[in-house]
Chain A
Amino acid sequence: MPDFLLEIGAEEIPDWMIEPGLEDLRAKFQAAFGVFGGSALVTDGTPRRLFLFAENLLHQAPDTQTILPGPSVSAGEKAAEGFARKQGVSISELGKMQDAKGERYVFHQLTQGQSAAQALSGKLPGIIAGVHFPKSMSWTGKGGFRFIRPIRWIAAVLDAQTVSFEVAGVKSGNTTRGHRILGSKEPLPVTVATYMDVLRDNFVIVRAEERKQRIETGLGADVQKDEELLRTLVYLTEFPTAIRGGFDPSYLELPKEILSTVMRHHQRYFTVVRADGSLAPEFVAVTNTNGDPDGLIRQGNERVLRARFNDARFFWQVDQRKKLSARVPDLAKVTFQAKLGSYADKVGRLVPLAAEICKALEHRSKIDASVVQRAIKLCKCDLTTEMVREFTELQGIVGGLYARAQGEGESVAGAIYEHYKPVSMEDTIPRTPEGQVLSIVDKLDTLRECFKIGLIPSGSRDPFALRRAAQGVIKILFESRLPFSLMKRVEGQPALVDFLNERISYYLREIKGYPYDEVSAVMAPEETWLANLADRLDALHDVRPTEDFEPLAASFKRIKNILKQAQVDETGPPDPNLLFPGPEQDLYNSFVRVRESARASSSYREKLTAIASLRPRVDLFFDKILVNDPNPAIRRNRLALLDSLLTEFSTIADFSEIVTQGASGAKV
């Protein structure tokens, strides 16, 4: 059975689009040619080629039979003859079939399966044209073929036979091309069997995994790990070679954040660390060559890095001529958002918001409000510096470094340094309470103001990264356990309340892995602060598997339904004098006891365990007592008892949200 090889030869494809492009090619190939079977389907690629290998295809797709319905038998021979003629057969070749309307003539049309070669040459142009890329281009002219970069050759070989077709004016063939510089200048004939070797001889390693290993082998143990950079370099090269270079140790006086941003982000170098964790004056570059025998590439990269470092040093020196505190007025000229004014306006809003939060925290946590206020005043000033203009990804960090260099004190400098953190769900939160509050107010202000002017994320559109901002606030509040209410800060903004609740729920479910119903249950009571929510959730999650809990939750659901149907609003507490001895009186007594012990305990786990212990009493109550007593006073008193029960414990969680076994069958 034949093997098939496809190679789309293109000009350099952006590194980050190669894997998704291959994934899409694979899926589309599978969908179109799955009928040919095959024992393996492999895709891989380099910047200049997307490659697909399908093993053991059928020579020919299986024949297919289609049943074409003809006229009813009752319509007579004439009609049947007409039908047969249309199919190009004689009447004797027709079959008969019974259906709802009676017996009818049918024709079993046999379609011969296409040969693999035919099907491939027929369908591949469409498949290649359909591979999705986030930003495609045309190169043959207006309205012409689109792809990620111009296609320059296509190899399509079934065993050793070329599969012929044409895409964007390029005719498929049986040749590939080697490495741009190191490979043969001529097209190289290949078969399925020789493909990898021919390319290897021409300095192309087709498999990404192998390129990755080749880079890793060349890195050395003292190189700082950087998976993202590694992946980028795997897809920027066809024949990667790691080379090591150095720089003058005098540059190490610059902050390591700046040095490593220049090396990793701007130059795509790996950084090298010493045993004590500090930066070594070295770097590792990954070239698309087979070594650097004359050291010219090393020298070139060293010169570029020197220029970059000189720039950074120059920016640092120029920036120190004007302290951050002297830059405060300049923020009036830096726009935050067209409708929301300047960064001076933003800072103006942060001051009272932070003051309010610090006040709320006053007696509950240790926080220095004056540090927060000083940090707020200075935190955006680095936006006016040369350094941040050049290295925008270092905003905040540069401010913190400058604040430290300008004698602002470690707590202020630290808060500024970390105030964009966390930048992702994997990132850590600011370390100090002052830094945490600064980060929260900065993001919260962005959320509040953007929502006010209708900049609300929808679908994939979130240009102001509001989801990330909300997620950052939530992560800080859960992890720092700062005891103040988030929702109080967004009162009167229902859309934002919903948005934040949705992000909280997302965080607890997707990041923390709690079940959906437990999250909904603890989010039902009004929020005090998120750490408290986390405690209740934690306790609920622990107590849930205990024997009494889920049945009790089912009972709560029942209570809720009873109260809803009875349409009682204000019941007040039950009147103990109206209680009947037996299950009703017992439930009440247990309730009062559990209530007292739950109130006395500071542990949600104990509270919930105590509540769960009510289960037998509740069961017995429902078993023996008719809530809808003919006497309205008694009925009312029973509803009051149930309502007290529900209200008392619903501050911890709404137990009726818990999905229980057989809950749907519960009757009122």
Chain B
Amino acid sequence: MDSFQDTIFKLKRYWADRGAVIQEPYDLEVGAGTMAPETFLRVLGPRPYKVAYVQPSRRPADGRYGENPNRLYKHQQLQVILKPTPDDVLDQYLGSLEAIGIDLRKHDIKFEEDNWEAPTLGAWGVGWQVMLDGLEITQFTYFQQCGGMDLDLIPAEITYGLERIAAFLQNVDSVYDIEWAPGVKYADVRLADEEQFSVYNFELANVDRLWRLFSEHEAECAELLAGFAPENRRFPVLAAYDQVLKCSHVFNLLDARGAISVTGRVGIIARVRKLAVGVAEAWVRQQFAVEEAVA
């Protein structure tokens, strides 16, 4: 039986063999692998790109104090971006399942419609949730828009839910029983995070300070964007995007603290979205203006 990390190694190897750059996780808090710049910014513009990386994804409101066997505040996604989408993308994807030891002839695979939308990123796509014997193991999305812009090349985004896949492969009922490495359980590695961050996210995070932080990060990003100079290749668009990610994470914390009403939510989402769209547009102008001029 493969350990959790063996499964991850095999998936990375599989996609590396198909030409993907293997990246490390982005080093800021994100709610999903999509938000890492390796996806959000790389899907923009006309340049082909293939990348795969594990992204720990923090969703403060999903925490359950380590008491629920299937719900985690922080779970790990293996994110694959294939831009443009190869014609045999689904065969390649199914091949990756074979590569981690799933004999597809003995299991039931279904592709069920599941369209994806990230309003804070001005992004949406269509695709499926991939069901393996009734278990959702992957989100597969054909990106259509990102940062409010139609995409030049349509990328396929494959997001594997690593804990679920490992629990399936190891035949365990609780994520905490997954063997992470030989002799080391998931609980040994991650249970303390779940316990402590649930307390922080739901009970102790200082709401007033979070609101101030949100405004500060927003202001920092807006100020950078206001001074954007497209011809300057050193202009820190990437730094501006970091501020968007920080806003987004603070927003999620506020949400977990119950500080955001449904009415307020729409307004906050619009504020983050405005920044994200601004960054995406700046990135496209900075990186691809020359190529467009040549074309």
A binding-site residues for B, Cβ under 8 Å: 11-12, 14-16, 47, 135, 137-144, 149-150, 152, 180-182, 236-237, 267-269, 285, 287-289, 292-294, 296-297, 299-301, 303-307, 310-311, 314, 333-335, 338, 342
Name which residue of chain B comes closest to A185, CB basis. B91
Chain B residues lying within 8 Å of A311, measured Cβ to Cβ, are: 68, 70-71
**In whole angstroms, how far apart are the Cα atoms of A334 and B94 in the complex?**
43
Please determine whether A304 and B135 come into contact, CB atoms closer than 8 angstroms.
yes
B85 shortest CB reach to chain A, Å: 6
Name which residue of chain A comes closest to B113, CB basis. A14
**In whole angstroms, how far apart are the Cα atoms of A15 and B110 in the complex?**
11
B170 shortest CB reach to chain A, Å: 11
Interface residue from B68, B104, B106, B133 paired with A301 (Cβ < 8 Å): B133
B17 contacts the other chain (CB 8 A): no
B232 contacts the other chain (CB 8 A): no
| Residues 178-202 of B contacting A (Cβ, < 8 Å) | none
B87 contacts the other chain (CB 8 A): yes
Contact status of A139 and B69, CB under 8 A, knowing A301-B133, A307-B173: no
B197 shortest CB reach to chain A, Å: 18
Contact status of A141 and B154, CB under 8 A, knowing A181-B105, A288-B110, A297-B107: yes
B binding-site residues for A, Cβ under 8 Å: 64, 67-71, 84-85, 87, 90, 94, 104-113, 115, 125-126, 128, 132-135, 142, 144, 150-154, 168, 171, 173, 258, 261-263, 266
**In whole angstroms, how far apart are the Cα atoms of A140 and B84 in the complex?**
8
Q: Could you count the A-B residue pairs with CB atoms below 8 Å apart for me: how many are there?
A: 114
Name which residue of chain A comes closest to B172, CB basis. A303
A383 shortest CB reach to chain B, Å: 11
Please determine whether B261 and A135 come into contact, CB atoms closer than 8 angstroms.
no
**In whole angstroms, how far apart are the Cα atoms of A182 and B266 in the complex?**
47
**In whole angstroms, how far apart are the Cα atoms of A306 and B258 in the complex?**
30
Contact status of A300 and B173, CB under 8 A, knowing A14-B113, A137-B126, A334-B262: no
Please determine whether A300 and B142 come into contact, CB atoms closer than 8 angstroms.
no
Contact status of A301 and B134, CB under 8 A, knowing A137-B126, A182-B105: yes
B62 shortest CB reach to chain A, Å: 11
> Would you list 22 pairs from A and B whose C-beta atoms are within 8 A, ordered by A residue?
A12-B128, A16-B113, A135-B126, A137-B125, A137-B142, A137-B154, A138-B144, A140-B154, A142-B151, A143-B150, A149-B126, A181-B105, A236-B112, A297-B106, A299-B133, A300-B107, A301-B133, A303-B168, A306-B173, A307-B69, A311-B70, A335-B262
Interface residue from A149, A285, A314 paired with B134 (Cβ < 8 Å): A285
Most buried by A among B84, B94, B258, B263: B263
Please determine whether A300 and B109 come into contact, CB atoms closer than 8 angstroms.
no
Interface residue from B64, B71, B107, B128 paired with A296 (Cβ < 8 Å): B107
Contact status of A333 and B107, CB under 8 A, knowing A236-B112, A307-B70, A314-B67: no
Interface residue from A139, A180, A269 paired with B154 (Cβ < 8 Å): A139
Please determine whether B133 and A300 come into contact, CB atoms closer than 8 angstroms.
yes
**In whole angstroms, how far apart are the Cα atoms of A279 and B152 in the complex?**
52
Chain B residues lying within 8 Å of A15, measured Cβ to Cβ, are: 112-113
Contact status of A310 and B142, CB under 8 A, knowing A139-B154, A182-B105, A303-B173: no
Please determine whether A338 and B266 come into contact, CB atoms closer than 8 angstroms.
yes
Please determine whether A300 and B168 come into contact, CB atoms closer than 8 angstroms.
yes
Name which residue of chain A comes closest to B128, CB basis. A12
B252 shortest CB reach to chain A, Å: 16
Name which residue of chain B comes closest to A143, CB basis. B150
7 further interface pairs, Cβ-Cβ under 8 Å (given A135-B115, A287-B108, A293-B106)? A150-B87, A181-B104, A268-B134, A303-B173, A304-B134, A304-B135, A310-B70
Please determine whether B112 and A294 come into contact, CB atoms closer than 8 angstroms.
no
Interface residue from B104, B107, B152, B263 paired with A338 (Cβ < 8 Å): B263
Chain B residues lying within 8 Å of A305, measured Cβ to Cβ, are: 134
Name which residue of chain A comes closest to B106, CB basis. A296
Most buried by B among A47, A139, A150, A237: A139
Chain B residues lying within 8 Å of A306, measured Cβ to Cβ, are: 173
**In whole angstroms, how far apart are the Cα atoms of A314 and B64 in the complex?**
10
Name which residue of chain A comes closest to B114, CB basis. A14
**In whole angstroms, how far apart are the Cα atoms of A236 and B106 in the complex?**
18
Chain A residues lying within 8 Å of B110, measured Cβ to Cβ, are: 236-237, 288
